[in-house]
Structure formats: C-alpha cells, structure tokens
Amino acid sequence: MKFLWDGFRQAIGLIVHGDPTIVHLTVVTLEVAAIATAVALLLGLPSGLALGLGRFRGRTALLALANAGLGLPPVVVGLILALLMFPAAPLGFLHILFTIKAVYIAQAVLSLPIVIALTAAAVQAVPSGLLDQARAFGAGRADLAALALREARVGVLAAAIAAVGSAISEVGAVALVGGNIEGTTQTLASAALFQVNAGHYAYGMAIGVILLGLLLIVAAALTLLQQPGARLWLRSAS
C-alpha cells in the first residue's frame, strides 16, 4: 500500500508542478492516440460499413477475422512490424524503425480491427426494415451507408472510444517498434514500464496514475458526445 500512496502523492506533485518530462510524455501519448485513431477510423469505418451492410461471399469469414482482431496480441503485432521494418526487410526502405512514425503505424494496426468489428456490429443492429424502406425510396449505396452510420452512431462512437483507449494504454508494440526511447518514442504507458523495470516503483506508479487520469478524461469526453443531449446540441449548433 505504501507504493500506491507514494505513487499517488508523487503523481499529484508532478502534475501540480508541471514536470517537463510528464508534459512531454503526455503530449506524445495524445499525439500517438490522435493519429492512430484517425487512421483507424479513416480505414475502419468504410470497412465496417461494408461488412455490416454487405451481402457477399466470404463476408462471414471476414467478420470472424475482424472479431478475432479484437484480441490481437500487441507484442506479436509489434514483433511482426519490427521484423518488417528492419533494414533488409520489405519495409526497411522507409527507415522508420525506432521512430515515432513506427509507433503511429503499430498503434493504428492495433486500433483498426477494433473500429472495423465494432462498427460492423453496430451497423448490423440497425433495423433491416429501415434500410429496406430507404432502398424502396431509391437510396443508393452512399445514402444507405450514411443512414446506417447515423443510426449506429452510438456504437460507432463506442468503437472510437475503444480505439483511443487502446492507443493511449498500449505498451508492447510501442516498445518493440519504437524502442521506448526517452524523449522521442516513449509514451506514458511505455515510460511506466521502463520505470518499473528500473526499480523506480513510486515514479512508475505516478506515471500510471497520470495515465489512468488521462484515459478517464478522454473517455469521459467521448462518452459525453455519445449522449442524446450532446448530439442535439451539436445538431442545433450546426
């Protein structure tokens, strides 16, 4: 319990005094989360819509693959990406191993199946009668996709929350492809791991407390957007 109390007390001190290391780690963590989630949403939303609305051969297998992706082992993903990024490997010409760009890619790869699977599930829950009615009125594929996305917005926002949470808290893939280099590729989660491995348990706990607080703040903000009142306010503002 002493480690917990010391870590919490140290975390408060780091936040109150604006510790430069913590500020930098927080900025990098938010930057990685924002870019990885944006890429995952850009690629994952159309894929999830196609799987949720489509009726084509192999769709069930693709859905199963997307659902399996929810449990992708981050360490395995990081290892595969790192091997692909070595100088003599297929992606070696990019020269991004142990750089922040490699971290962006790893986090986006981990977040992508989350967005695809949860978006597909949310779209499948949209009443089929509503979509059939839209087709009867001559709605095209783009119109159906927009309708399904609007009706499934709560589930889609849940996918975004899960993707952001994964990008903020993941450490295994970050350490493997980014090298966990202090000041460049290190995030809050990987910094906490580094401090614990170094035997600095209180400081590691302090970083962990800050990480949990950041995750709660981001999740709470996105959750508020899920609520009917927020959606009505956004609609009236636009």
Packing angle between helix 201-226 and helix 188-197, nearest 10 degrees?
160
Q: Is 138 exposed, middle or buried (0-12, 13-18, 19+ CB in 10 A)?
A: exposed
Q: Is 18 exposed, middle or buried (0-12, 13-18, 19+ CB in 10 A)?
A: exposed
**Residue 223 pLDDT:** 83
Q: Indicate whether 227 belongs to any domain.
A: no
Residues of the domain holding 91: 22-180
Q: What gap in Å lies between CA 118 and CA 154, rounded to an integer? A: 11
Q: Indicate whether 192 belongs to any domain.
A: no
Domain count, the chain: 1
- Closest of 117, 116, 151 to residue 131, by C-alpha: 151
**Residue 234 pLDDT:** 46
171 backbone dihedrals φ, ψ, rounded to 5°: -130, -35
Q: Which CATH number goes with the domain that contains 56?
A: 1.10.3720.10
**Residue 236 pLDDT:** 53
Q: Indicate whether 195 belongs to any domain.
A: no
Model pTM?
Answer: 0.88
Q: Indicate whether 1 belongs to any domain.
A: no
Q: What is the pLDDT of residues 205-236, one digit of tens each?
A: 888 888 999 999 988 888 887 776 555 444 55
**Residue 228 pLDDT:** 67
Q: What gap in Å lies between CA 148 and CA 59, rounded to an integer? A: 18
**Residue 3 pLDDT:** 62
Q: Indicate whether 218 belongs to any domain.
A: no
pLDDT tens for each residue of the chain, 238 residues long: 666 677 677 778 877 788 898 899 999 999 999 999 999 999 999 999 999 998 888 899 999 999 999 988 999 999 999 999 999 999 999 999 999 999 999 999 999 999 999 999 999 999 888 888 888 888 888 888 889 988 998 899 999 999 999 999 999 998 999 999 999 999 999 999 898 888 887 788 888 888 999 999 988 888 887 776 555 444 554 4
Q: Indicate whether 111 belongs to any domain.
A: yes
Q: Indicate whether 232 belongs to any domain.
A: no
**Residue 233 pLDDT:** 47
Q: What is the pLDDT of residues 70-84, one digit of tens each?
A: 988 999 999 999 999
**Residue 230 pLDDT:** 55
Q: Indicate whether 214 belongs to any domain.
A: no
